[in-house]
Amino acid sequence: MAKPDDRSNNAERIENAIGHTLQNRNEARDYEKAHAKELSEEEKQQIEEKNERREESIEGLQQEIQDEAEDNK
């Protein structure tokens, strides 16, 4: 039997995901700054591209929170 769809904590889970994504982005930036001399241009580019994807993810998650807020009205 399928579990019922429990969305009672969606906003909280989304906020946690945003927080973790922001933390990962910041850690990647710090790593890149701390190891700039040791990193190849390719590695720097990979870090920057991954952070761009993280930014896109954050934007999408923020939209989901807005959608949740509208649904709960």
Which pair of structure tokens corresponds to residue 49?
């591209």
Listed by start position, the domains of the chain span 46-73
Tokens 């509208």 belong to 70
32 residue type, one letter: E
Tell me which of 22 and 10 has the higher pLDDT.
Answer: 22
Which pair of structure tokens corresponds to residue 13?
């889970």
Percent of residues, the chain, with pLDDT higher than 90: 74
Global confidence as pTM: 0.82
Question: Distance between CA 5 and CA 8 in Å, rounded?
Answer: 9
Helical (H) or strand (E) element with 58: helix 41-71
